[in-house]
Amino acid sequence: MRTNAVPLLVLLVLAGPVRSYGQNATVNNDLVFGDVFPGIPKMITKYTPGAAAEFYVSGTAGAEVTIDFTLPTYMDASGYNMQLLFREDDCAMDSSATPDQTNPGHDNLDPWHTITYRLGSSGLTIWLGGMVVPRLNQKDGDYTAAIVLTIAYTGN
């Protein structure tokens, strides 16, 4: 019994440090367009600190995750709509220890499709830009829309 149990106890000790941690996604910044003029589309690029959307994902370093956005096509204000566009290169991310929004490690990603990436030792920071297209007679007011980010481990 003693000779068989020791390797198993060693295995238990080893299992502790390598156990998987759940990933966690937090919001650092909304996608903020600020003042918009009727008839004049306004774009916020993913490189714009403080205006582009920013998510931070933590989890097991090196683990592969899938990243899915649920993107709105309109913003709303008291029943009035305003078109919201996302292009196929409006997303960027960086898993380095010092994420750089102006020069991200992984750029021009398509937020309309599943993105697969590995978490870094400092997690993963994701940025998203977009464009609003107000009509010439767009009703004035404060418009909002929800953008949902879903993160899941692939198991790889």
Partner 1 sequence: MPHRNQKAVGLIGVLLIMLVVPNIKAQEYATIHATATVIPALVVIGENDLIFGTVFPGVDKTVDKATVGFAGEFSIQGNNLAEITIDFTLPDSLMHEDSLSYMRISFTDIDASFEDGTGGGQSAPAGIINPLGPSTENLGAAGQMTIWIGGMVEPGITQTGGDYIGDITLTVAYTGS
Token pair, residue 124, equals 């993963």
Cα 25 from chain centre: 8
x/- map, 22-61, partner 1, by CB under 8 A: xxxxxx-xxxxxxxxxxxx-x----------x-x-x----
- Please report, as residue ranges, which positions from 59 to 118 form the binding site for partner 1 (by CB under 8 A): 72, 75, 77, 82, 84
Q: At residue 85, what is the residue type?
A: L
Contact between 150 and partner 1 per CB under 8 A: yes
Token pair, residue 65, equals 């995750």
Q: Is 141 left (phi over 0), alpha (psi -120 to 50) or beta?
A: left
Token pair, residue 89, equals 């290169």
Contact between 19 and partner 1 per CB under 8 A: yes
- Choose between 67 and 104: whose C-beta lies nearer to partner 1: 67
Judge contact between 43 and 131, C-beta under 8 A: yes
Q: Which residues bind partner 1 (CB under 8 A)?
A: 1, 4-5, 8-9, 11-12, 15-16, 19-27, 29-40, 42, 53, 55, 57, 72, 75, 77, 82, 84, 130, 132, 134, 136-153
